A and B are shown apart, each in its own frame.
Chain A
């Protein structure tokens, strides 16, 4: 009796911590979306609740339900999110670079610019 009560307490504590972590990720995304100056830096903030925040919240839900079946469904949902979030981030970032939705003066180093310049100068790449 006492041991089960302790297990309940521990599981509730873990679920509570995970819930708050998920909420903090979403808070970080909101603050980052408001404060950051650039499309790509805003994308950096926006991916926080998509992967880690969703994982924390889903694990908290699965722990609070106390069932292994829902853990499988929860991990399925998180795995699908993990598959599709990079796709949208890649497409949005590429489109943002091509259409110049970025602050070039805030960059310290633009690795893609040298590649683009090399191709547009029609110098064959040295390697490969």
Chain B
């Protein structure tokens, strides 16, 4: 009975390993590959456990223990250095099938953003990319705070209960100014093109 269970388990583990390898090969981002590598590591440890059950020895148990201890270090180290995904990439992935349209998001500062451009096209494909300017066009206002934080290399404080408000307000004051400075020269040509067309 144990032999049959071992064979079944090995087949299931092999299928899981194949799926994990497929995701490592295909994965669009490095984070997908990281979590697939975690699964791969667990599957290797599981294979060793099955081998220990079959041959009735305990040689590999320390591998399992050490895997549990240090297995997360790779994911933590890589996740610190993931680049922000570009808006074109986001649009190309989500514009194929859009059964659930995204909820309308209000701009970060209603007065400033609305006055500078009344009909700001939020379609990320039509807005041109500008290299060298921090605030990316066509970005969700709700996540631009996070991505600007990520790009600036800002490390938050550990105990940020009260000081978090100060940081957030400073960040919110900086972001719209860069926003209004960056947008009008870039989007006036596109608006004129729209009027001509």
Question: How many chain A residues touch B (Cβ–Cβ < 8 Å)?
Answer: 71
Interface residues on B, range: 35 or more
Q: Per DSSP, are chain A's interface residues mostly helix, strand or loop, or mixed?
A: helix
Question: In the complex, which of the residues B61, B98, B106 contacts A70, with contact meaning CB atoms closer than 8 Å?
Answer: B61
Q: Mark B35-51, 1 if CB is under 8 A from A, else 0.
A: 11011001101100110
Query: Do the beta carbons of B35 and A23 come within 8 Å of each other?
Result: no
Residues of A within 8 A of B109 (CB): 121
Contact with A along B1-34 (1 / 0, CB 8 A): 1101110111111011111101100000101101
Task: From B15, B142, B146, give the contact of A27 (CB < 8 A).
Answer: B15
Shortest beta-carbon distance, A64 to chain B, in Å? Answer: 5
Q: How far does the Cβ of B130 sit from chain A's closest Cβ, in whole Å?
A: 19
Is residue B105 contacting chain A, with contact meaning CB distance below 8 A? yes
Q: Is A33 within 8 A of B23, CB to CB?
A: yes
Q: Are B32 and A42 in contact (CB under 8 A)?
A: yes
How far apart are B82's CB and chain A's nearest CB, in angstroms? Answer: 5
Beta-carbon contact of B143 and A119 below 8 Å: no
- Contact call A105/B100, Cβ cutoff below 8 A: yes
In whole Å, how far is A73's beta carbon from the nearest beta carbon of chain B? 6
Interface residues of A (CB under 8 A from B): 9, 12-13, 15-17, 19-20, 22-24, 26-34, 39, 42-43, 46, 49-50, 53-54, 57-58, 60-61, 64-65, 70, 73-74, 76-78, 80-81, 84-85, 87-88, 91-92, 94-101, 103-106, 108, 110, 113-114, 116-117, 119-122, 124
